[in-house]
Amino acid sequence: MSSSDTWREPMRLALAEARAALATGDVPIGAVVLSPSGSVIGTGRNVREAANDPTGHAEVVALRAAAASVGEWRLTDCTLVVTLEPCTMCAGAAVLSRVARVVFGAYDDKAGAVGSLWDVVRDRRLNHRPEVVAGVLAAESAELLDGFFADHR
């Protein structure tokens, strides 16, 4: 299940979440969590501005929604799909929630913690290491972010 084609439709859902973040002035990052069967059990978008919450990253919001949906914090065999490479906080949340894989779109050379600056999810010192699928619809994810930051400069 690691082919990037497998993850295009879920990434499109994450991109829709990212676009929705624009309405609140948040950085357009979106995420979805898929159950082992592939159904969406959690969605999230950046809400740091909307909720005045420094932890209001798309991944955290989606993981919280997924855990509430299944009634358990362990998201065993689930997949986190996110438009931008997770930061250290979100990569740590992915590890701690026990997701089976992290799928992301664009790389984040400034704060990425799934291979760019750090590689939290594959750190052998941790008790769980999810599979990583990178670069799914990366151009679309990057364009959305580039447009947002161009408008805010």
Any binding-site annotation on 78? no
Q: Does 56 map to a domain?
A: yes
Q: What is the domain count for the chain? A: 1
Residue 15: count of CB within 10 angstroms of its CB: 22
Query: Is 114 a domain residue?
Result: yes
pLDDT higher than 50, residue 1: no
pTM, two decimals, is 0.96
Taking Cα atoms as reference points, which of 96, 86, 82 lies closest to residue 118?
A: 86
Q: Is residue 153 part of a domain?
A: no
In a domain, 89, yes or no: yes
- pLDDT tens per residue, range 43-53: 999 999 999 99
**Is the pLDDT assigned to residue 153 strictly greater than 80?**
no
In a domain, 61, yes or no: yes
The mean pLDDT of 69-91, rounded to a whole number, is: 98
Q: Is residue 152 assigned to a domain?
A: no
Closest CA to 50 of 31, 25, 20: 25
Using the predicted structure, report yes or no on whether residue 2 has a pLDDT greater than 60. Answer: no
Angle at 113 between CA 105 and CA 141, to 5 degrees: 20
In a domain, 83, yes or no: yes
Which residues participate in catalysis according to the annotation? 59
Which residue range forms the structural domain that includes residue 126? 5-147
Residue that wins the pLDDT comparison between 109 and 1: 109
